Chain A
Amino acid sequence: MHCLLWDSWAIRYLVGRRSSGGRHRKHGRQRHGWLCDVWRPFDDDRDYFFVPNTHDTEYLQVILGAKYCANADIWSMACLVFELVTGDFLFDPKSGHRFSRDDDHLAQMIELLGDIPSSVWRSGKNSKEFFNREGALRRIDRLKYWPLKDVLVDKYDLPREEVRLLSGISNDGSWQ
């Protein structure tokens, strides 16, 4: 996945929970890490991916069925950890003359995490407001893609090995 920090953090954390027992089966469905699955793997550096053992569709259903859930906290967690590591906000969107702060926020997410798959943006209730038929942002073009792990290495001079280690929460919650 594109982003060590949060796909592994979020996914491993969530999956770790799941494997610890069925306690958090709520509303008859399991909670999944959608961060990983909303954006399909974007780069080829896969060795640290967590490969989910459930069908993608199920993930999407969860994603689309939920308004927001506990995973919202995990997203914030990833932003928080990035800030602890670098001292900067992970996302700090601003509005411009021709686009809103939400537009910019989405653009920053895509630049960092890759394009949003059509199955996702098509099914979003209000995605028409932000995306055109091709799935591109309506008001912002010329995105500068920069995967998070590269940002950490290139911009913040973190050793690749450390970036890797940052994802090192194993399923039992301990550091590898």
Chain B
Amino acid sequence: MASSKPSKPSNKSSKHAEDSDSPASDSEESSSDYRPGGYHAVHLGERFNGRYVILRKLGWGHFSTVWLVHDEETSLQAALKVVKSAEHYTAAARDEVLILQHVRDLDGSDAHHCCRMLDSFDHRGPHGVHVCMVFEVLGDNLLSLIRHYDHDGIPLGIVKKLSREILEGLAFLHDECGVIHTDLKPENVMLKRHLKRRQEVANERAVASYERDPVAWTKQAPSKLKILVSSGKRLTKNQRKKLKKKEKRQREEGAEGGILEGLEEMRLGLGLEDDGLEEEDDAPVEEKLMGMECKIVDFGNACWEEKHFTEEIQTRQYRSPEVRALLIVG
């Protein structure tokens, strides 16, 4: 799902206030946010709602972390968004769930380029109750695509195809659903698949590893480092490094049957550099893109036309002049 999310309606102090120059951040979520009211310390193999088994981390936002899960009921993969547990995050997430349900109900055939919520539930953890949402698994977002073309622009044919799909999605949201997204930007439009085979391989490997031995997978011990961090213990940089090293060594020794830990895996750039997978990338990117649908994601800031949750909307660069922050119209 969308990484790097901007501000939540009810939490004005967060990102719009800072108005960070770059709308996307590639670093990781802050480990100090693993505390009551913050993130849930998800661990690999953890089971959610009795059916979703965590396979690997896909990304994070300021309000949630997103994980690749195996759905034991359907035997399919999905993306699980686990929202922070503080009250205002929970309240905003409940609104998000309502909007997503509404969109899903009106988009029975999945024809309108809006990301689909498959399920939602609450998960109780040591840090409180976390609203969880299950989505289809998608690929790269459009910011990655912009970067793929080195910020030199995407071929116009592809731009037109993508724009048309996004406009269709917006038309559906506005006219049929009465929903305003309020945070449309490249990060929040995702392609159905990844551009590089390599990234899909990371998911496939996690799935394969799970399928080899589902029982062992679900019995994995959570990382000691994470437990310490999530219990609010303050570690020095050195202690942290040592623990990380140790856990990595243990993994490499095969102590856990080659199971990779999500966080660490992300940090190593998917840990696949030396796999010789490099350019088995088949078709040219342009060709792939023309056949690849995109979807509007991240309704975390969306609101109803009749009911706005906040007047502070949109990430700075995409902010329209009628928005209160610019105050052209009153």
Contacts and interface: CB of A to CB of B under 8 A. Distances in A.
Given A101-B19, A124-B327, A169-B164, A76 B318 contact: yes
A72 B322 contact: yes
A90 interface: yes
Interface in B175-218: 175-176, 178, 180-186, 189
Interface extent on B, as a size class? Answer: 35 or more
A81 B320 contact: no
A90 B153 CA distance: 13
B316 interface: yes
B328 A156 contact: no
Nearest to B152: A87
Contacts of A9: 163, 167
A13 B322 contact: no
A126 interface: yes
B234 interface: no
A85 B156 contact: yes
A173 B180 contact: no
Interface of B: 19, 21, 142, 145-146, 149-154, 156, 159-160, 162-164, 166-168, 170-171, 173-176, 178, 180-186, 189, 305-306, 308, 311, 313-314, 316-330
17 contacts: A63-B322, A67-B324, A69-B305, A72-B314, A73-B180, A74-B170, A75-B318, A76-B185, A84-B162, A84-B163, A87-B150, A90-B317, A102-B326, A106-B321, A121-B328, A125-B329, A166-B160
6 tightest A-B contacts by CB?
A125-B330, A75-B320, A87-B151, A126-B327, A76-B318, A76-B184
Interface of A: 9, 13, 17, 23-24, 26, 31, 34, 38, 63-64, 66-77, 79-81, 83-94, 101-102, 105-106, 109, 116, 120-121, 123-127, 129-130, 156, 162, 165-166, 169, 173, 175
